């Protein structure tokens, strides 16, 4: 079963080299605290490893996908999505869309009226670890096993 990753940009836009900015623009992570859901393909893993000093990622579960869609999904004009929008996309409910996203069957870029990213807030009570170090070095960047907890505080 293929899966999808939740990717969050942690660092801002200052002093980011050109190659990293280009890769993050391809991932639709133009601003700080933006989150995207990307299906697991060979090239996406390579892109994540390339910009691991600026983003954090983790495998996505269905509950988090549903919560992100309920609270933070937007359509053009930055309006909240409605159940009618989801049926227009060809899904019966938010749950069905969330499971399709979490299993990597579809991506937000393919669902046209929806924005391809979620704009999150900074986490309530701050990051508990350093924002400048990788997860293995007591930071939050890179492949982070606690990212879903942080994202819940960012919604």
pLDDT in tens, 53-80: 999 999 999 999 999 999 999 998 889 9
Confidence of residue 2 (pLDDT cuts 50, 70, 90): low
The span from the CA of 83 to the CA of 31, in Å, is 28
Q: What pLDDT was estimated at residue 107?
A: 86
Q: pLDDT at residue 1 above 80?
A: no
CA–CA distance, 140 with 57 (Å, rounded to integer): 9
Band (pLDDT 50/70/90 cuts) for residue 104 is confident
Contacts of 136 by beta carbon, 8 Å cutoff, 6+ apart: 142
- Predicted pLDDT at 111: 87
Mean pLDDT of 98-122: 90
State the total domains in the chain. 1
Sign of the dihedral through C-alpha 101, 105, 109, 113: negative
- What string of DSSP letters covers 74-137? EETTTEEP-HHHHHHTT-SSHHHHHHHHHTTS--GGGSTTB-SSEEPPPPTT--SSEEEEEGGG
Instruction: Compute CA distances 98 → 70, 77, 83, 87, whole Å.
Output: 10, 22, 13, 13
Domain that residue 112 falls in: 4-154
CATH of the domain at 97: 3.30.1390.20
């Amino acid at each position: 079963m293929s899966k999808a990753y939740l990717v969050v940009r942690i660092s801002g836009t200052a002093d980011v080299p050109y190659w990293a900015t280009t890769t993050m623009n391809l991932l639709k992570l133009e601003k700080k605290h933006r989150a995207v859901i990307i299906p697991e393909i060979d090239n996406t893993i390579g892109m994540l490893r390339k910009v691991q000093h600026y983003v954090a990622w983790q495998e996505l579960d269905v509950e988090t996908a549903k919560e992100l869609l309920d609270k933070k999904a937007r359509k053009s004009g930055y309006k909240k999505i409605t159940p009618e929008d989801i049926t227009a996309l060809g899904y019966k409910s938010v749950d069905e869309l969330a499971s399709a996203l979490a299993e990597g069957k579809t991506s937000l870029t393919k669902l046209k009226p929806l924005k391809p990213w979620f704009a999150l807030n900074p986490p309530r009570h701050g990051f508990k670890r350093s924002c400048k170090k990788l997860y293995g070095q007591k930071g939050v960047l890179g492949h982070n096993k606690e990212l879903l907890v942080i994202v819940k505080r960012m919604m």
